[in-house]
Each structure stands twice: as C-alpha cells, then as structure tokens.
C-alpha cells in the first residue's frame, strides 16, 4: 500500500541515508522535498524517507562540509532551501559508495554461497 512506511527504512543502516542524499545531490542541487521524493521514487517506493531523519541528516552533512545550502525558488515559485554537493562531498560519496559495494558483495557471498 503506497504511503505506508516500509519496514526497510527503520532498518536502514546508519549512514546509508547520508549516502543516498549525497547520491541524489550528485545529479544537481535540490531542496529537501525533491531529495525525499527522488530517493522514494528512485527506490521504487521501497525506501520511505522519514522527515524526522532527513532534516537532521541534511544538517549533519552541511556541518561536515559535504553539502552546501542556499535559498532559492522552487518550481512552484516557493522559497526553498537548496542543497548542492561540495567537492569534499563528492569525494565522500565515492568513498562511501565503494565501501557500500564491498559490504554488499561480502554479505551477498554469505547469503548466496557458491554451490559446492
């Protein structure tokens, strides 16, 4: 049922949301609403972004200097706070993605062992 919270999100590994936000912003600046939407749509609604996590995450990323913010105007002419990826954030994204893939491969090998 669309809109219902997927159990997945509560189990989301610590730091994953950060990575997803960074990945979303790699495509271009966006405001919070767009970011949430982009992730939900990109995951085919499997990942539901709770705003209670999104905004603190944005704050944390900005604090670490991985993203920067500016006030802009939304598609509907609303004032909105936009975020963009900083060079440091781009590096961080690459590092996190690499690490993530390593973990996924490792877990995958355990879950689907090579048949003997």
Partner 1 sequence: MSWQRFLRRARWDRERHDEIDSYVQIETDANIARGMPPEEASNAARRKFGNSTLIREEIYRMNTVGLLDTLSRNIRYSLRTLRHSPTFTAIAVLTLGIGIGANTAVFSVVNSVLLKPLSYPKSEELVALTQTAPGAAGLATFSSGLPLSGSMYFTYAEQNRSFQALGVWIAVTNNVTGVAEPEQVRTILVSDGTLPALGVQPMLGRWLGQADQKPGAPETVMLGYGYWQRRFGGDKSVIGRNILVDSRPREIVGVMPAGFRFADTDAELIVPVQLDRSHQILAGFGFQGIARLKPGVTIAQANADMSRMLPIWMDSWSNGPGTNSRVYETWRITPALRPLKQQVIGNVGSVLWVVMGTIGLVMLIACANVANLLLVRAEGRQQELTIRAALGAGWGRIVRELLLESVLLGLMGGVLGLGVAYAGLRFLVTLGPATLPRLAEISIDPRALGFTLAVSLLSGLLFGLIPALKYAGPKISLTLRSGGRTLSHSRERHQARNLLVIGQVAIALVLLVSSGLMIRTFQGLRTVEPGFTHAEQIQTMRIAIPASLIQEPERVARTQNDLVNKLAAIPRVTSVAFASGAPMETIVPNWDGIYKEGTEYGADEVPPMRLYKNVSPGFFGTAGTRLLAGRDYTWTDLQDRRPVVMISENLARELWGSSSAAVGKRVRTGSRSPWREVIGVVQDVHENGVHEPAPAIVYWPTAGDNIYQPGAMIVARTVTFAIRSERAGSESFLNQVRQAVWSVNSSLPLASVQTQQDIYNQSMARTSFTLVMLAIAGSMALVLGIIGIYGVLSYAVSQRRREIGIRLALGAQPGELKRMFVRHGLILASIGVAIGLIAASGLTRLMSSLLFGIKPLDPITYTAGALLLGIAAALASYLPARRASTIDPVEALKAE
Interacting residues toward partner 1 by CB under 8 A: 31-33, 50-52, 55-56, 59-60, 63, 74, 76, 78-81
**Element housing 69 (H / E):** strand 67-73
Nearest residue (CB) to partner 1, 50 versus 101: 50
Nearest residue (CB) to partner 1, 60 versus 84: 60
Nearest residue (CB) to partner 1, 32 versus 89: 32
CB of 74 to partner 1, least distance (A): 6
- Please calculate the CA angle 20-66-13 and round it to the nearest 5 degrees: 35
CB of 49 to partner 1, least distance (A): 10
What tokens does 70 get?
A: 């500016």
Nearest residue (CB) to partner 1, 55 versus 103: 55
Q: CB-based contacts of 26: which residues, under 8 Å, 6+ apart? A: 85, 90, 93
CB of 45 to partner 1, least distance (A): 14
Could you tell me whether strands 30-31 and 67-73 are parallel, antiparallel, or unpaired per DSSP bridges?
A: unpaired
Cβ–Cβ < 8 Å for 12, 48: no
């Amino acid at each position: 049922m669309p809109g219902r919270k997927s159990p997945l999100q509560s189990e989301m590994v610590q730091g994953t949301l950060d990575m997803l936000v960074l990945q979303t912003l790699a495509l271009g600046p966006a405001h919070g609403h767009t970011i949430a939407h982009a992730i939900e749509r990109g995951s085919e609604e499997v990942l539901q972004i709770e705003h209670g996590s999104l905004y603190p995450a944005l704050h944390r990323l900005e604090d670490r200097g991985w993203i920067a913010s500016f006030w802009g105007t939304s598609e509907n002419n609303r004032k909105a706070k936009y975020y963009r990826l900083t060079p440091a954030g781009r590096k961080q994204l690459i590092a996190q993605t690499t690490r993530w893939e390593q973990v996924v491969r490792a877990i995958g090998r355990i879950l689907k062992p090579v048949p003997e």
